[in-house]
């Protein structure tokens, strides 16, 4: 976890140093949506924070931090924390009003699952239960399609679709609404 924290800090530092270039457009985005976690068996509520730096009309880089939690699926509950580093390509140019882009990058996540392995009932009432807590980490690949529209000179909103296949066989796929502010 220390390596991930160090890597995330380094990415944010590099982005903030590059942010001092007046010609670059920087924005901070907040996303809220849902995803199918694992092999698609846990429906999660997900939030994401992302810092974007537009390098030119066609390319942007972003670093983000996401959280997800679920009570719906094969486990009693599941939650995850992820960090993402992406590069985006805007095939129709980023017009600063509408930006359709596709992206890819790397992801690291930590997932914690809880599930019941035994239960004791008396007269139909649960009196004792044993649970297992499982935690796993993995690297993955991000594939993103996103469209953002500037509402004003400072505020924007958009929609994001993504899939993240991980090395351990997990997949996290979903969509979210995003709201942002240009810094």
Q: What is the CATH number of the domain that holds 51?
A: 2.40.160.20
pTM over 0.85: no
pLDDT score recorded for residue 21: 45
CA distances from 78 to 9, 32, 36, 108, 118 (A): 26, 17, 11, 16, 18
pLDDT-derived band of residue 119, with 50, 70 and 90 as boundaries? confident
pLDDT-derived band of residue 158, with 50, 70 and 90 as boundaries? very high
- State pLDDT tens for residues 26-85: 999 999 999 998 766 789 999 999 999 999 999 999 999 999 998 876 667 888 999 999
User: How far is 16 from 77, CA to CA, in rounded Å?
Assistant: 36
Domain of residue 91 covers 2-182
Instruction: State CA 113 to chain mean position distance.
Output: 18
8 Å CB contact between 50 and 62:
yes
* Number of domains the chain is built from: 1
């Amino acid at each position: 976890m220390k390596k991930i924290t160090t890597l995330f800090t380094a990415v944010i530092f590099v982005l903030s140093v590059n942010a001092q270039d007046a010609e670059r457009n920087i924005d901070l985005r907040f996303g809220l949506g849902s995803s199918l976690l694992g092999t698609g068996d846990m429906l999660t509520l997900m939030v994401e924070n992302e810092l974007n730096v537009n390098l030119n009309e066609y390319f942007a880089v972003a670093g983000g931090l996401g959280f997800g939690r679920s009570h719906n699926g094969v486990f009693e509950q599941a939650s995850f924390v992820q960090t993402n580093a992406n590069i985006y390509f805007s095939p129709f140019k980023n017009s600063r009003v509408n930006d359709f882009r596709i992206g890819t990058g790397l992801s690291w996540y930590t997932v914690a699952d809880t599930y019941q392995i035994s239960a004791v009932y008396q007269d139909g009432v649960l009196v004792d239960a044993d649970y297992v807590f499982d935690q796993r980490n993995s690297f993955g690949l991000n594939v993103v399609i996103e469209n953002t529209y500037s509402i004003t000179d400072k505020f924007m909103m958009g929609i994001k679709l993504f899939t993240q296949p991980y090395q351990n066989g997990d997949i996290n796929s979903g969509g979210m609404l995003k709201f942002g502010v240009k810094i």
